Structure 1
Amino acid sequence: MTTALPIQTERSVGEAMKRGALGRCPACGEARIFQGYLKVRDRCPNCGEEMHHHRADDGPAYFTILVVSHLAAPLLLLIYTLYRPSTLTLIAAFLGGVTVLSLLLLPVFKGGFIGLQWAKRMHGFENGAPDRPSEP
């Protein structure tokens, strides 16, 4: 006797990552995915999708560092070359700017990583709630 496997429809990677980056559940796009700054809810309160098994560990931090450093380094060089501010002013301004930008981007990248994992059925997302059609 053969066992029929459930038919799994394709999940939109772009849509799931966009929903995650906006801080929403990648499955339904309605409820908030975070219950704090970076603490992911165990389950979506709207659709019931389990999220406790996500594996967005160091990836979001690496991407945040990559983006922030690639934005800050040329800007630092440009401002120093054009205006020649004092060292203390330059350090203070860039330290503050880099900190704020990092804190803003980290949850965006973490949500995107969780959306990618959900769309690709990675790390336990393959047995989650049934697929839902994309909203227009």
Structure 2
Amino acid sequence: MLRGIRKRCPQCGESHIFSRYVTVNPTCRHCGLDISAYRADDAPPYFTIFVVGHIVIPGMLLLEQNFHPASWVHMATWVPMTLLLTLALLPPIKGAVIGAQWALRMKS
């Protein structure tokens, strides 16, 4: 899973598993692993929402309890934070799911 989080091949850890943002390379360029056999389509967005929600919601509540800012401050803070965290965490989480599938031998 750690190799997947680093967006590397789960078998050799050398080659990138993504050709673009979250587009999976069909095979590893280094060891030839068929990465396309590991389907990670639905789970990564759910896990990403789970993680981002556990970061953003407590932060939002703490900001509200301690400083009582206007609604526009919340919008200006948390909407970009949510978008950036989601975009930043989706590839490593998708890589971790592919790594977990490889470790558990869960080919589709």
Question: Is the structural similarity TM-score above 0.5?
Answer: yes
Identity of aligned residues (%): 44
TM-score by length of 2: 0.96
Unaligned residue ranges in structure 2 (runs of 5+):
none
Moved over 3 A (4+): none
Residue of structure 2 aligned with 1:39, choices 23, 38, 44 = 23
TM-score by length of 1: 0.77
Based on CA coordinates, which of the two structures has the bigger radius of gyration? 1
Alignment partner, residue 57 of structure 2 = 73
Alignment partner, residue 128 of structure 1 = none
User: What is the distance in 1 between the residues matched to 2:102 and 2:39?
Assistant: 10
Residue of structure 1 aligned with 2:105, choices 121, 130, 133 = 121
Count residues with an aligned counterpart.
Answer: 108
Residue of structure 1 aligned with 2:87, choices 79, 94, 103 = 103
> Aligned-residue CA RMSD in angstroms?
0.9
Alignment partner, residue 94 of structure 1 = 78
Q: Which has the higher contact order (CA 8 A, sep 6+)?
A: 2
Alignment partner, residue 39 of structure 2 = 55
User: What is the distance in 1 between the residues matched to 2:62 and 2:104?
Assistant: 41
| Residue 110 of structure 1, CA deviation | 0.3
| Residue 58 of structure 1, CA deviation | 1.1
User: What is the distance in 2 between the residues matched to 1:80 and 1:116?
Assistant: 38
User: What is the distance in 2 between the residues matched to 1:114 and 1:87?
Assistant: 39
Which structure has more helix as a fraction of its residues?
A: 2
